[in-house]
Amino acid sequence: MVLDNRKIKKSKIENNKLEHEEVTERDKIFKTLIHFPGSSFTDLWDKSIESNKFTYYLKKLEQEGTVEKREGKYHLTVRGKAKAVTISGATGQTQKKRPFVALLLVPRKDGHYILYKRMKEPYYGVCGFPGAKVEMGEEILEAAKRELFEETGLTGEGKIVGVQNAVIINDGVVFAHMVQYIVLFDEPSGDLIKNNREGTYEWEKKDVVLAQKNLFPDVEEVIKSIEAREFIVKEVQMIQENEKFVDIKSKVLIKIPDFF
């Protein structure tokens, strides 16, 4: 039994070494082809491992469709180039997380705003305006229009009325980071979907929206700038303690009065 355990442990160690070796060699290949497309086998192989092993790892990349051989030289395929966007050419490692492009949808009708209560994590139970992400290749306003309909059943033409570089900090640590386009939908049409898997939606007066106890802290500033008809670009930090919003810090970078 002791010998069997030793064999199992040795096998696991060997497997881990091979997995680490493969990841390392694949990263090296990507690093080289990012900067030197059209490299030969000799260019890619630095002789740190046996030739047959390196050939095996290179073939696997070809089989995955991220590397291809053309006229005796190796290149990244279209899929490989898309993957290379997330890899640092300096280290060959996956890059750190970066902010994502987001939308803050603000439907307004007859002096009322949509009050959205989020019913999923993160921010479960927090109220505000519907948020959404831009899909790869989408235009901002087309994405906003699509998301508005998918989430609320409403349709309309949106207008970008602000941009905020929004960082959420929980207990002193960056929890989320997004560049948000604030899109106003004035007088949208359609029957409001009041419940879906995202949360609940209600038309409410401004005072009711702002009276919510568990409110995203940027809502008041967004409403204020919209009703002042100002286009604002700003830095925003929304502060949480133990996952509860307690403060907001804003710095206006650009303010254009009477914008819309």
- The CATH number covering residue 25 comes to 1.10.10.10
pLDDT confidence tier of residue 44, bands split at 50, 70 and 90: very high
In this structure, is residue 226 part of a structural domain? yes
Same domain for 67 and 111: no
Same domain for 11 and 134: no
Same domain for 158 and 240: yes
Same domain for 247 and 132: yes
Check residue 214 and give its pLDDT: 95
| pTM as predicted | 0.72
Domain of 198 in residue numbering reads as 100-256
What are the beta bridge partners of residue 234?
Answer: 164, 252
Same domain for 227 and 162: yes
In this structure, is residue 242 part of a structural domain? yes
Decide: 142 and 232 in contact? Cβ < 8 Å: no
Of 29 and 237, the one with more pLDDT: 237
In this structure, is residue 90 part of a structural domain? no
In this structure, is residue 92 part of a structural domain? no
Same domain for 219 and 171: yes
Same domain for 135 and 17: no
Lowest mean pLDDT among 13-17, 40-44, 83-87, 185-189: 13-17
Same domain for 151 and 47: no
Lowest mean pLDDT among 20-34, 132-146, 215-229: 20-34
pLDDT confidence tier of residue 7, bands split at 50, 70 and 90: low
- 50 vs 86: CA distance, rounded Å: 28
Same domain for 107 and 78: no
In this structure, is residue 129 part of a structural domain? yes
Alpha helices in the chain (DSSP H): 2-35, 41-44, 51-64, 78-84, 140-152, 206-210, 219-227
Q: What is the CATH number of the domain that holds 187?
A: 3.90.79.10
Task: Quickly tell me which residue has 């590397």 as its tokens.
Answer: 67
Same domain for 179 and 66: no
In this structure, is residue 89 part of a structural domain? no
Same domain for 189 and 248: yes
Q: Is the pLDDT of residue 6 over 60?
A: no
Same domain for 234 and 167: yes
Q: Is the pLDDT of residue 89 over 50?
A: no
DSSP 185-253: EES-BS----B-SSEEEEEEEHHHHHT-SSB-TTHHHHHHHHHTT-EEEEEEEEEEETTEEEEEEEEEE
Count of the separate structural domains present in the chain? 2
Backbone CA torsion sign across 54, 55, 61, 63:
negative
Lowest mean pLDDT among 42-46, 118-122, 249-253: 118-122
Q: Which of 210, 217, 156, 211 is nearest to 183 (CA)?
A: 156
Q: Is the pLDDT of residue 20 over 60?
A: yes
